[in-house]
Amino acid sequence: MHKQTASDLVAFLVVAQEQSFTRAAMQLGVSQSALSQTMRALETRLGVRLLTRTTRRVSPTQAGERLLQTVGQRFAEVDEELEAITALAENPKGTLRLAATENAVATVLWPTLETFLPLYPDIKVEIVVDVGLTDIVAGRFDAGIRPGEIVAQGMIATRIGPDMRMAVVGAPSYFEKYGQPQAPSELTLHNCINLRLPTHGGLYAWEFEKDRRAVNVHVDGQLVFGSASLILMAARSGQGLAYLTEEQVRADMANGDLIRVLDDWCPPFSGYHLYYPSRRQPTQAFSLLVDALRYRD
């Protein structure tokens, strides 16, 4: 590839991502007119229009969007390789972006970061709380955290937590008024607090298993949240039944604020795993974090 073409492609990626010649020019350290001429020259060489220009914004054409996705990914991989090579001769550094649920952050990620970050002051960690099944590649995350059984194929997964169990819980005041369900099917008669998954837009089905019989119940109720902490808050106040991990409700069950039901229908399942694409070449900073998080029974 010609050196000038490579330089022009870098400029195109910045313009397409910023959707502004003004911001892109500032980022690249060139004048806006020079950047505009560079883009026109690239389009002429390729024989296709890459950008749609209006008075208010710049956006990629269909060809430009394809170039952004394909070439952009290649340049991102080059940047990762250069960062990994640089890290070999320097102190570990870099920014790591992780997608995880509130519970995963509280129970496995944060306890490790408390001791990890002071050891490596040049490593930064950005955590995006995610209750859906976000595509970590499309979202440009370094890694995600999920229970092992739902990690997508083709990913490298490292176990970072013990097995888990779910728990159906409610406040004593709720059960005094409505009684306790004796089987998962009876949950349809109760006011249950739902969790909406933002990635798919649907409500999370409550999953149960007993004697190798699996049952999924689509519960109903007055409240729907996108956060486990809000579901827990509502359950404590007697607004309905909640379906959360044991760890999230352990303290409330111990002090009597919440009562557990259908215990025998909630078997253990694979605990949290940190996962990332198999084609990714880990940086030194990422490898250190993975090792620190690794579950050691």
Residues 64-74 have pLDDT tens digits of 888 888 887 78
275 CB contacts (<8 Å, ≥6 apart)? 136, 143, 144, 145, 146, 151, 152, 155, 156, 157, 158
Q: Domain limits of the chain? A: 3-86, 90-163+271-293, 166-265
Per the CB < 8 A criterion, the answer to whether 258 and 236 are in contact is yes
Q: Is 1.10.10.10 the CATH classification of the domain at 3-86?
A: yes
Percent pLDDT > 70 in the chain is 94
How far apart (Å, rounded) are the C-alpha atoms in residues 71 and 79? 12
Q: How many CA atoms lie within 13 A of 253 on its CB side?
A: 15
Per the CB < 8 A criterion, the answer to whether 231 and 259 are in contact is no
Element (H, E) at 12: helix 3-18
Read off the pLDDT of each residue in 135-155 and give the average, rounded to a whole number. 84
| pLDDT higher than threshold 90 for residue 208 | yes
Per the CB < 8 A criterion, the answer to whether 24 and 11 are in contact is yes
| pLDDT higher than threshold 90 for residue 290 | yes
Whether 3-86 shares its CATH topology with 166-265 is answered no
Instruction: For residue 206, give the amino acid letter.
Output: W
CATH number of 90-163+271-293: 3.40.190.10
Which residue from 61, 79, 81, 73 is spatially nearest to 15, judged by alpha carbons?
61
More confident residue, 136 or 218: 218
Count helices and strands in the chain by DSSP H and E runs = 10, 14
Read off the pLDDT of each residue in 208-216 and give the average, rounded to a whole number. 93
The whole model's pTM is what? Answer: 0.65
More confident residue, 133 or 136: 136
| pLDDT higher than threshold 60 for residue 286 | yes
Task: State the average pLDDT for the chain.
Answer: 88
| pLDDT higher than threshold 80 for residue 78 | no
Class of domain 166-265: alpha beta
